Amino acid sequence: MNDVARAVGVSYQTVSRVLNEPHLVKESTREKVEQAIRELGYRPNSVARALKTARTDLIGVIAPITGHFGPTKAVCALERAAREAGKAVVLVQVDPGVPGAPEDAWERLLRHGVDGAVVVSPCLNFVRALRPPVHMMPIAVAGGEGGDWPAYATDQRGAAYELVQHLVSRGAKRVAHVAGPVGWWDARERERGWREALADAGLPEGALARGDWSAESGEESGRELLANAEFDAVFVANDQMALGVIRALVDGGKSVPADVLVAGFDDIPASSVTVPRLTTAGQNFAAVADACIAAVSATRALSPGLELLPAAIILRESSEG
């Protein structure tokens, strides 16, 4: 910065002003300074700026290391939203199973001086486990309940409700469910939507199996249902498991959708071309991300509470019985 100042013959402060408050500096001076900046290839050192202003324009993103569709998409969406807000994203993945890992994640973010953090929290107790140093920075939660912080998520219960309602409208009388693992917000909400839709439709409770989100666990759950239950439709908590269920049904001599209707959740890229094409729901990651970034960029802390954003229902062959 001093080099630029010297080249033009002004003080370093004038250069600083050209960068931060251009309207305060005379036009002729400003142009000369800008010219010198270009010629000398000067780049403001944002580390030094951060030291003085205590703002880094960095936003921390803490995500579970699961590698599942939802969290991954959420991270990508958050990066885009942050970029559009002029911030950069520091990504820290956490294995919720490793003791101390959540604390370590916060530690890293705090040390790098992030201005705020977004927690991608598909696990129910993930936020709590993170035990963040209270109110040291603005925090928002994406895709789950937020405890003491503002949270934004897709209305998965509502989408599940609609999907089950759709299955029923296509003639299903006994709708089974393959749920996600206990302790996941997504799993619980989708399961609730299923229960509520059945109850509201005056249908009896359906059979329940539980997987771990993986395609293999879906296949396993499908076999389990076939062995133990009567059903003419299955609502599966995600697409990968849904494909596993379909596989089990086909192996069991059932045809989808002729004998059993199936609906999944997530709209993974493959689900539009599988045999059969999969009825599912797509989350609005972009809207969730925008809301989270806005929340952590806000000057004053936002009040806690969960705001739900609508999902997109996608009807395809697997439920067109």
Residues at the interface with its own copies (CB under 8 A):
41, 43-48, 50-51, 56-58, 61, 65, 67, 72-73, 75-76, 79-80, 83, 88-93, 107-108, 110-113, 133, 214-216, 218-219, 239-240, 243-244, 246-247, 250, 268-275, 277
Site membership for DNA, residue 48 (CB under 7 A): yes
Site membership for DNA, residue 11 (CB under 7 A): yes
* Out of 52, 100, 202, 303, the residue judged to bind DNA by CB under 7 A: 52
- Rounded CA gap, 219 and 186, in Å? 20
Site membership for DNA, residue 223 (CB under 7 A): no
Q: Residue 312 touches which of DNA, its own copies, none (CB < 5 to 8 A by kind)?
A: none
Among 110, 92, 102, 104, residue whose Cα is nearest residue 127? 102
Give the type of residue at 86. G
- Rounded CA gap, 264 and 163, in Å? 9
Nearer to its own copies, 90 or 311 (CB): 90
Interior/surface letters 9-30, b for 16+ CB within 10 angstroms, e for the rest: ebeeebbbbbbeeeeebeeebb
CB-side neighbour CA atoms (13 Å) of 217: 15
Nearer to DNA, 23 or 300 (CB): 23
Site membership for DNA, residue 14 (CB under 7 A): yes
For the bound state, the minimum distance from the C-beta of residue 203 to its own copies, rounded and expressed in Å, comes to: 28
* Out of 6, 35, 39, 53, the residue judged to bind DNA by CB under 7 A: 53
* Out of 12, 135, 273, 305, the residue judged to bind DNA by CB under 7 A: 12
Site membership for DNA, residue 300 (CB under 7 A): no
Nearer to DNA, 53 or 255 (CB): 53
Residue 174 near residue 204 (C-beta atoms within 8 A): yes
Among 257, 255, 193, 181, residue whose Cα is nearest residue 218? 181
- Tokens linked to 20: 């931060």
Site membership for DNA, residue 225 (CB under 7 A): no
Q: Residue 11 touches which of DNA, its own copies, none (CB < 5 to 8 A by kind)?
A: DNA
Q: Which pairing describes strands 312-314 and 280-282: parallel, antiparallel, or unpaired?
A: antiparallel
Q: Residue 124 touches which of its own copies, DNA, none (CB < 5 to 8 A by kind)?
A: none
Nearer to its own copies, 14 or 221 (CB): 221
* Out of 6, 20, 35, 131, the residue judged to bind DNA by CB under 7 A: 20
Helix H, strand E, coil C: the string for 86-126 is: CCEEEEEEECCCCCCHHHHHHHHHHHCCCCEEEEECCECCH
Q: Which pairing describes strands 305-309 and 233-236: parallel, antiparallel, or unpaired?
A: unpaired
Binding site for DNA (CB under 7 A): 1-2, 9-14, 16-17, 19-20, 24-26, 29-30, 42-45, 48-49, 51-53
